[in-house]
Amino acid sequence: GQNIDQPTEMTATEGAIVQINCTYQTSGFNGLFWYQQHAGEAPTFLSYNVLDGLEEKGRFSSFLSRSKGYSYLLLKELQMKDSASYLCAVREVANTNAGKSTFGDGTTLTVKP
């Protein structure tokens, strides 16, 4: 099975940088995803890591260390619209359970002026 941990809530200031951590313990690993979800809406894809290292995509970056079972999502130049829930999800090995993903409980980020 999967066990995914991420902080429940975080607060940051507009224009600042925030790092959201995610740790996982899995029986199989085939990639880690970060999603953004605004209240009442479905999640939207932010990033995907399957190899160790940093993936940068504009203001958003995601890092993975498979040996440590650790990932983080880095948000730069925070904007008010970045206030949302950020979900960390780990995908199991693809040939079992069709590669389903297990989601963490999400981190609610509040950006203040």
**What is the distance, to the nearest Å, from the Cα of residue 103 to the centroid of all Cα atoms in its chain?**
9
Of positions 33, 64, 72, 111, contacts another protein by CB under 8 A: 33
What token pair was written down for 70? Answer: 């650790």
Judged by CB, which is closer to another protein: 58, or 113?
Answer: 58
Judged by CB, which is closer to another protein: 2, or 75?
Answer: 2
Q: Does 111 bind another protein (CB under 8 A)?
A: no
Cα–Cα distance for residue pair 104/43, rounded to 1 Å: 13
**Residue whose token pair is 């160790």:** 52
Of positions 10, 28, 48, 83, contacts another protein by CB under 8 A: 48
Cα–Cα distance for residue pair 23/71, rounded to 1 Å: 6
What token pair was written down for 87? Answer: 């979900």
The alpha carbons of the chain give a radius of gyration, in whole angstroms, of 14
Alpha-carbon distances of 47 from 13, 62, 97, rounded to whole Å: 23, 7, 22
Site pattern 69..98 for another protein (x: CB under 8 A): ------------------x---------xx
Contact segment (CB under 8 A) with another protein among 11-19, 27-35, 58-66, 69-77 equals: 27-35
Counting residues that bind another protein (by CB under 8 A) gives 21
Interaction site with another protein (CB under 8 A)? 31, 33, 35, 40-45, 48, 87, 97-106
